[in-house]
Homo-oligomer: A and B are copies of this chain.
Amino acid sequence: MPKKVTIRFEPEGRKVLAKPGTTVLEASKRAGVGIRSECGGKHSCGKCRVIIEDQSNMTGVSDHETEFLTPEELGHGYRLACSSAAVEGELTVFIPSETRKGKPRIQVEGMERPVKLDPAVKRVHLLLARPTLHDTTNDYGRLLDAMRHTGFRQLEMDHELLKSLPDSLRNAKWDITVTIWNNKRIISVEEGNSEDINYGFSVDIGTSKIAGYLVDLVSGNVVSIQSLENPQMVYGEDIISRINYALTDGAALKKLQATVVEAINSLIHNACKQVGANPDTVFEITVVGNTAMHHFFLGIEPKYLAVAPYVPAVTKPLDITANSLNIMANPLANVHLLPVVAGFVGSDAIADVIATGIYETNKMCLLIDIGTNGEVFVGNREDIVSCSCAAGPAFEGMHIEHGMKARTGAIERVRVDPETYEVSYETIGGSKPLGICGSGIVDAIAEMLRCGITGQRGGINRDIETKRLVRVNNEPRFVIAWKRETGIGRDVTVSGKDIQEIQLAKAAIHTGAAILMNEKGVKDDQIDQVYIAGAFGSYINPENARFIGLIPDVPTQRIDFVGNTAISGAKMVLISNQMRKRAETLSKQIRYVELMTAPGFHREFRDSMFLPHRDATRYPTVMSHLRRRGS
């Protein structure tokens, strides 16, 4: 047997075996991973850019690559998939977002409640009197005097702005628009009247995805929505591996920080370009993210987040100027970091609470934000408890053999006929299936459970008689789409291992919810409202989510999918000082429950691994269906 090389594609983790010399582009096709290539591999488009950190097992840089990639890019591990190949051993290839084939379906928007428009940034037009020999008031004093007449007192000005103030005032012929942040800092002085130009930006730094809203602070409206994959993925797909990367050397943390800053800058740039705004007119940026993302963004030592007792460096809200963070907005724009609750309940979770308003309702709420790291809240206006659960990225299609992100070609809906086991499915964009995304896999497993193809413990029931039950490497798999139907030249299947990945992920979330409900003394039927936040949640079938035990057995009309409430909460804080204060209060009031030390954690986790749960009484709706079928 000839020697083979292994090529692994990240962030999906899909592997293919190939002959040495097979190009990365060819291998990607066989792996069902879409890499953009406009020239079809003819080395003439330069679009098939991939990142390969360890290049020891591969071919050297070709002339094609030096033509399309800068020395900096080559230094960062960029290669062209068409011109690079594995020589021996294993190769790990990271596909950056811009190289992905197919349009990603990204849920950026989230539930948002109306708030009074009262941003921290205000713009005031002034006509100053010119100095004369009889009025030699200094420039700054003259400006402050005029500001006092418009009701602003105790203002300060950054040294950088002061340096050019004499010229700014005279070039503007004393006719200026002043930008004030938080009624205390003057952050810009511009020529003429531009009171009606005032932008803010909200950012949600997710472990996998970064989303941004450009907001017109005059109207309070979102004018552009942007998002991209978190480019830190190159340094590890989950929080812990990125923290470990940060420990590798002194420059690693700086690299993680620079990477996310660059990504945010490109979101701001693209948003401004879309609406024809100057990034200098973006005067405030609100930022949310889990605690690790928060620390990375600020360049704060993250290592103690990963070891007991998992203590964050800081939880209170922070205000830092854009220039000191290298954010490309107005240099003196304020970057407001929303407060954090705990080491694994970040400011994105605070934003979820703000956006859904669970802190001001009498209803008993369960709020679950499903992401690589899941956060769960139980409570209402009286008291809220929170926890974090390491769900992992399975719901984003990772660690699933044919899993993929929600892009064109992903199977997102699955039905299985309980009699014939025949499958019907829908793909994103209606094109040939390339793989299966989070909502698709939840559907598939729920349907397989309904039809008895899998059981309460997971696995594949080998007794089922259908040609859709196939064996690959002696492991049974259930075929969702036949090779002839797919775009990858292979069957798209669900394996026992895939089911187990989803069991682990859903158990983590369910355990968090169960422990919190226990802490509050609340039973499933006392939950008045379930909010499912996070991009994944927006496309999931609620009945199927309940069927596999991801969420408790409550009537579906009590379940609401609220989308990316992290970004909508960040936007509410951007336009409302009241919400900003509320976020700070909440960060102190929300109680954090450490799951690892919670009584009953291990038993609950083990029981939650069952589909839907080991304790049949917890899922009466689902169990009655299963019993009917079983009978």
Contact = CB atoms under 8 A, between A and B. Distances in A.
Interface of A: 131-133, 135-141, 159, 162-167, 170, 298-301, 303-304, 308-316, 318, 320, 324-325, 340, 342-343, 592, 594, 596-597
Contacts of A594: 133, 136
A304 B342 contact: no
A133 to B, nearest CB: 4
Contacts of A140: 313-316
A163 B300 contact: yes
17 contacts: A133-B597, A136-B594, A138-B313, A138-B315, A138-B340, A139-B304, A141-B316, A159-B318, A162-B300, A162-B313, A163-B301, A164-B301, A166-B300, A166-B304, A166-B311, A167-B301, A170-B304
Given A163-B298, A163-B300, A136 B314 contact: no
Given A159-B320, A597-B133, A165 B592 contact: no
Contact of A162 (B132, B163, B298, B309): B298
Nearest to A337: B159
Nearest to A253: B163
Given A137-B311, A166-B300, 20 more contacts: A133-B308, A135-B309, A136-B309, A136-B343, A136-B594, A139-B311, A140-B313, A140-B315, A141-B315, A159-B298, A159-B325, A162-B313, A163-B300, A163-B301, A165-B300, A166-B301, A166-B303, A166-B304, A166-B313, A167-B301
Nearest to A302: B166
A132 B310 CA distance: 9
Given A170-B304, A298-B159, A300-B166, A133 B309 contact: yes
Nearest to A137: B311
Interface of chain A, main secondary structure:
mixed
Nearest to A320: B159
Nearest to A318: B159
Instruction: State the oligomeric state as a number of copies.
Output: 2
Given A136-B594, A170-B304, A594-B136, A165 B342 contact: no
Contact of A299 (B136, B163, B299, B313): B163
Nearest to A594: B133
A136 B342 CA distance: 8
Chain B CB within 10 A, most for which of A133, A165, A324, A325 = A133
Nearest to A300: B163
B324 A131 contact: no
Contacts of A166: 300-301, 303-304, 311, 313
A74 B596 CA distance: 66
Nearest to A340: B138
Given A133-B309, A133-B594, A301-B164, A324 B159 contact: yes
Contacts of A596: 133
Contacts of A162: 298, 300, 313-314, 318
A165 B324 contact: no
Contact of A311 (B136, B163, B314, B318): B136
Contacts of A309: 131-133, 135-136
Nearest to A140: B314
A601 to B, nearest CB: 13
Contacts of A137: 311
A311 B138 contact: yes
A159 to B, nearest CB: 5
